[in-house]
């Protein structure tokens, strides 16, 4: 038998297999490396292959666009959006369009070509997270940008196009649809109950505890009750806060620990799958968002998304989060 579960935030329904759930070995993991024919533009010594850097962590005070950096931020050489210009909205018959104004930055998280985030030390991950927060806060000052989308694609099936792992930060000139829905769902809950729905989710998850993977003073990592993907994981700060970029240094330190451990656990359990993670935060609309609570969503790309999911937004999840959490917890972190 399966069951249907409804996401309390956006109202999405999920079909969940609860009789014969899939184990990690039941998913075919695609290989996800590229043949490398040219030099890697993200490796030290090849700094000239990228546009000039926006910022970098350089403990040795080395010059910009030279080796010596630990984390380096550059504009995307093939940007989805362009930074210069004014937003120009117009109609075309019954359609609406605007020009593609925005920012598209690449955060190179390590000079080491072969390392993924959980392969770094806690301290190195903290430097990466500080860079994420600093770039988000900086772009937030530009009022043309309504939303900062920070995400990471690991592996071919997750949309990565280079072997040297990195994150992307895209500043959008409008609030994307999924975010509007998430905010609207959270606002309805907040309006009715006067409480944040994410705080309530954390409370319920802690009480039931079967889906929790890791906890520390500032964060909880768990498989959400209404996962869209098998082995989906959320990392949510305990303290209610609307923006990721408002995180304190202590919080980023705690996040470095839980993120490294959780990603490492997930990778070991699922045999190094392709995955995405996305930081969900409030939009840059000159307001506070008491109804919203920033968090990270991690999605291993091991199940196939096909006609049903595209057509209806109805996802079929072959491993319930309770079972996924059990497998993940059985795996050692190091």
List binders of another protein among 128-157 (CB under 8 A): 147, 149, 151-153, 156-157
114 binds another protein (CB under 8 A): no
Smallest distance, Å, CB 150 to another protein? 9
- Token output for 195: 């409480």
94 binds another protein (CB under 8 A): yes
Indicate the residue among 212 and 314 with the shorter CB distance to another protein.
314
81 binds another protein (CB under 8 A): yes
Indicate the residue among 5 and 289 with the shorter CB distance to another protein.
5
Give strand pairing partners of 297.
Answer: 234, 278
Query: Which residues lie below 8 Å from residue 312, measured CB to CB, with a gap of 6+?
Result: none
Smallest distance, Å, CB 215 to another protein? 19
Q: Considering only residues 220 through 239, tell me which ones interact with another protein, judged by CB under 8 A.
A: 225-226
Contact mark string toward another protein, 293..332, x via CB under 8 A: ----x-x----xxxxx-xxxxx-x----------------
Indicate the residue among 70 and 152 with the shorter CB distance to another protein.
152
- Count of other CB atoms within 10 angstroms of residue 3: 11
Contact mark string toward another protein, 154..173, x via CB under 8 A: --xxxxx-------x-x-xx
Q: Contact region for another protein (CB under 8 A) — 39-47, 53-61, 87-95, 321-329?
A: 87-95
Indicate the residue among 132 and 225 with the shorter CB distance to another protein.
225
- 3-class DSSP state of 327: helix
Smallest distance, Å, CB 22 to another protein? 11
Q: What is the DSSP string of 38-60?
A: S--TTSTT-GGGSSPPSEEE-TT
Considering only residues 100, 115, 187, 257, which one is a binding residue for another protein as defined by CB under 8 A? 100
Beta strand ranges found along 147-274 (DSSP E)? 147-154, 166-172, 212-215, 219-222, 233-237
107 binds another protein (CB under 8 A): no
Q: Site for another protein (CB under 8 A): how many residues? A: 72
266 binds another protein (CB under 8 A): no
- Euclidean distance between CA atoms 286 and 198, whole angstroms: 22
Helix (H) or strand (E) holding 192: helix 177-193
**Interstrand relation of 315-317 and 13-17 (parallel, antiparallel or unpaired):** parallel
Task: Choose among 236, 237, 222, 260: nearest CA to 109.
Answer: 260
Q: Considering only residues 184 through 213, tell me which ones interact with another protein, judged by CB under 8 A.
A: 197, 200-201, 204, 208
Confirm if 240 and 288 have CB atoms less than 8 A apart.
no
- Euclidean distance between CA atoms 319 and 228, whole angstroms: 10
Smallest distance, Å, CB 86 to another protein? 12
Chain position carrying tokens 């829905």:
181
């Amino acid at each position: 038998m399966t069951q249907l579960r409804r996401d309390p935030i956006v109202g999405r329904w999920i079909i969940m297999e609860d009789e014969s759930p899939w184990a990690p070995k039941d998913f075919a993991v695609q290989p996800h490396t590229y043949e490398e024919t040219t030099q890697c533009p993200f490796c030290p010594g090849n700094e000239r292959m990228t546009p000039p850097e926006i910022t970098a962590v350089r403990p040795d005070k080395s010059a910009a666009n030279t080796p010596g950096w630990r984390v380096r931020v550059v504009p995307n050489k093939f940007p989805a959006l362009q930074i210069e210009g004014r937003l120009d909205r117009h109609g075309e018959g019954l359609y609406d369009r605007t020009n593609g104004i925005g920012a598209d930055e690449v955060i190179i998280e390590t000079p080491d070509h072969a390392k993924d985030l959980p392969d770094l030390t806690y301290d190195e991950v903290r430097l990466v997270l500080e860079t994420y927060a600093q770039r988000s806060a900086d772009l937030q000052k530009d009022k043309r940008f309504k939303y900062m989308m920070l995400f990471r694609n690991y592996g071919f099936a997750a949309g990565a196009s280079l072997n040297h792992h990195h994150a992307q930060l895209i500043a959008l000139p409008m609030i994307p649809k999924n975010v509007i829905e998430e905010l609207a769902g959270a606002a309805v809950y907040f309006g009715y109950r006067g409480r944040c729905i994410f705080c309530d989710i954390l409370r319920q998850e802690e009480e039931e505890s079967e889906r929790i993977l890791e906890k520390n003073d500032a964060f909880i990592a768990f498989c959400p009750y209404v996962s869209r993907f098998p082995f989906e994981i959320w990392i949510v700060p305990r303290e209610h806060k609307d923006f990721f970029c408002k995180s304190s240094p202590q919080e980023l330190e705690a996040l470095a620990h839980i993120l490294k451990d959780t990603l490492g656990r997930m990778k070991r359990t699922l045999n190094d799958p392709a995955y995405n993670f996305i930081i969900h935060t409030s939009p840059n609309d000159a307001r506070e968002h008491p109804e919203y609570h920033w968090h990270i969503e991690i999605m291993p790309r091991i199940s196939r998304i096909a006609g049903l999911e595209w057509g209806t937004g109805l996802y079929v999840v072959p491993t319930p989060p309770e079972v996924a959490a059990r497998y993940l917890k059985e795996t050692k972190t190091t």
